[in-house]
Copies of this chain bind each other. A is one copy, B any other.
């Protein structure tokens, strides 16, 4: 087993009805709160009203900033930083999924920093402090509600970058599965693929593997495979929504280790940054193309995946066949959730391949792949071609 560091200071309040105590959870952390959110859906659904009432009962002042979009923009976070400074905000409440939470995290870093918050995303500076944030999770996918990561898009230069820092772990996360009943099928499916991708990135790494972690990876993957279709068919199925919600946090808050390859995230990132493809959908495309390109690096590992996740019987005469069948089963599963696995289906023309490959390795390292196969621009061109 690899060495690791782990802590999860975020207080998780998981389950039905937890939303009703929101005022209590906030009052020990702040008195002047920015409520940060995405679409107006939270007002139509009544969620916003519940939150505001609970805060008013605790005498908490609040300001609001909505309009965070998928693949959240630096400009929106900067708008938030200005509002927070002007109004002496001491706590940020993010209501939403990964995009809103990451935007809130960016604001929380920017408030006490007197230069450009983007500095933190390009390793030009290291954060020293941040305003505390809390989360009401409405779309389970990125695990941002319990992890130390934020991803933001600097739209001026078409660049999507991430930061990882313990200061970014929220002080609390309300994970009430009923709040996800209204997530539309496409976002539900994309979120589920994101969850699987977080495990995938950790599963396909070089030695040493861990027996325990492998079994836990399988636990998360099988949970999504079991419950994503149910959540699509029956959006108000509490069991399905709760299994997916807890799986999402476990998959990417380093409880299952922080060592991963993350090439697929790098490949998908370009589809989001350049063409605004939903994060989870971009990962479906990236995972399948990547797997087709790299599986020969460790055929046994791909065979194990095929067997333990998809129940595909190991073909000892032709392990390559087993490996490819596992990849195909994964692709079929993504498609069964109505998520395309081809760039062409996402409306991206093939003359963009070189640009995407170039941007993908423009990450300060010059390559993708931290733990399995190192991929340079030429490799990425081949991978993007495989995605057609």
Contact = CB atoms under 8 A, between A and B. Distances in A.
Contact of A13 (B5, B8, B210): B5
A12 B3 contact: no
Contact of A219 (B208, B215, B223): B215
A86 interface: no
Of A15, A212, A215, chain B has the most CB atoms within 10 Å of the CB of: A212
Interface in A217-274: 218-220, 222-223, 226-227, 239, 242-243, 246-247, 250, 255
A226 to B, nearest CB: 6
A16 interface: yes
Contacts of A15: 1-4
B14 A212 contact: no
Nearest to A8: B8
Contacts of A3: 14-18
A222 B210 CA distance: 12
Given A7-B11, A212-B246, A215-B219, 19 more contacts: A1-B14, A1-B15, A3-B14, A3-B15, A3-B16, A4-B12, A4-B14, A7-B8, A7-B9, A7-B10, A8-B8, A210-B246, A211-B222, A215-B215, A215-B222, A215-B223, A216-B219, A218-B219, A255-B255
Nearest to A171: B7
Nearest to A255: B255
Question: Size band of the A side of the interface?
Answer: 35 or more
Interface in A3-40: 3-18
A237 to B, nearest CB: 12
Contacts of A242: 1, 210
A212 B243 contact: yes
Contacts of A222: 211, 215
Interface of A: 1-18, 177, 208, 210-212, 215-216, 218-220, 222-223, 226-227, 239, 242-243, 246-247, 250, 255
Contact of A227 (B12, B211, B246): B211
A1 B5 CA distance: 28
A356 to B, nearest CB: 35
Contacts of A246: 1, 210, 212
A219 B226 contact: no
A208 B250 CA distance: 20
A142 B302 CA distance: 36
A238 to B, nearest CB: 8
A180 to B, nearest CB: 13
Contacts of A10: 7
A6 B15 CA distance: 11
A341 B9 CA distance: 39
> Closest 6 A-B residue pairs measured CB to CB?
A3-B15, A215-B219, A1-B242, A8-B8, A9-B9, A212-B223
Contacts of A243: 1, 210-212
Contacts of A17: 3
18 contacts: A1-B15, A1-B246, A3-B15, A3-B16, A4-B12, A4-B15, A6-B14, A7-B12, A8-B8, A8-B9, A210-B242, A211-B223, A211-B226, A211-B227, A215-B215, A215-B222, A216-B216, A218-B219
A223 B210 CA distance: 10
Contacts of A2: 15
Contacts of A212: 219-220, 223, 243, 246-247, 250
